[in-house]
Structure 1
Amino acid sequence: QLYDAKAGGWRDLGMLDVMQIFGRAGRPQFDKSGEGIIITTHDKLAYYLRLLTSQLPIESQFLGSLKDNLNAEVALGTVTNVREACAWLGYTYLFRRMKTNPLVYGITWEEVIGDPSMGAKQRSFIIDAARSLDKAKMMRYDEKSGNFYCTELGRIASHFYLQYSSVETYNEMLRRHMSESEVINMVAHSSEFENIVVREEEQDELETLARKACPLEVKGGPTDKHGKISILIQVTVEELSLFSFSLSPGTFLS
């Protein structure tokens, strides 16, 4: 099992992780064969056996990051309109699984019967993502022509791997006149930091850092999740040393 910070608990190792680990056994240039051993509880044994024998298919998670990936393609110039975006989506594992197991992706059997090629649903996914990106000002989408035009914000988000949800947060919180403390607090609300949690054993050091090492006001204080992130950002900029392992810049920035 692995600890999932987002879920706040332990979860089973996924089949993709298992296959990645097994793939390290028996490299062709060194060995003629390789062995992989799964050590698990008896109640999980049937689950992993079904996965290993491909009885349980691996589904795509691409829909959750479609906006970010579409923005990246538009920023690169490889996708310039809805037609090209649909062709691009047609090469993904998501599209293959949509045709094989449509119910998982919110596609009804009525839609499958009316559109066996999934062209309409494919176009619908792209248009929904394009409208969201246009609303976030990450690109411009011309409804009439179907053309995409990259914006500077979208290009920055693509180059620096900023998630669409973070840009949405910036658009909501950004104002014409903001103090440096408010800017750092806005950055602290980025979705990239969603797995950061406030731990009890860190409180003393966070309070000391907020009081003595942070030149700017810490919104929310050290007991608040976003306050903790604000402290760590300031400490990282100031290049100060940290004692708690979980607070070290390497752990935080990763």
Structure 2
Amino acid sequence: MEQTDRLAAESRSPEPGTVALVTGANSGIGFAVARQLLEHGVTVWIGSRDLANGERAASDLGPAAHAVQLDVTDPSSVAAAAATVGRLDILVNNAGVNPGGEDITATSLEQLRAAYETNVFGLIGVTQGFLPALRRSTHPRIVNVSSGTGSLAWNSGPNPQFDWERVQGGGLAYRSSKTAVNAVTLLTAQALGSAFKVNALAPGLRRTNLVAGMTVGGDPTEAATGVVRLALLPDDGPTGALWSWDGTRAPW
């Protein structure tokens, strides 16, 4: 895998006709990613579990945005979406859930299953479903929206992403599912080779529906910029890495 500590500030200019799919794109980081990709001239499919929500988002974003019903936990929905989208150059696996629970003493198996069903199995299923289209692209890119709280290195000691002393052992379902996303990202990059660019992004805490009710967190647009940088990597760009939203390499 290519090694670098910081991503270049400038992204590759996408070729005319470049097509992206962003899952969970009707709000939050996904919506901001879609908007920024559109600004780069990319045609964007808004993947949304509720089609009406996706259609409203696409209408807000403009004529180059299109809605597609996509429940990442439903294989038939993934297959139907792949057939609808057709050509694809960029896949942003953004859809995610936080079903709650705290540490191992206060997290149910149901909460763990819910987290993994969407955040891990859904991500894998969507990637597999759209791989045939991505293989036909001349610049295939996959970006998995992960979390700094899934970094084992950062979970093992003081880190810049969260209050380590306060959250030790907490968030078992969500955080461990994002650790799994990091592993899936690395192994996918290894399996697909250097023609693909497969990376994960730690977006930082953002004001989205995922943390509804919280008053802290930054603007989703800032995190989206990091996603788009990875989605538009040049052909000599890195693959198989976890990146912080600010373009610096993050530890696994």
Above 0.5 in TM-score? no
Shorter chain as denominator, the TM-score bin is under 0.3
Larger RCO (alpha carbons 8 Å, 6+ apart): 2
* Larger strand share, 1 or 2: 2
* TM-score, length basis structure 1: 0.25
* Larger helix share, 1 or 2: 1
* TM-score, length basis structure 2: 0.25
Larger radius of gyration: 1
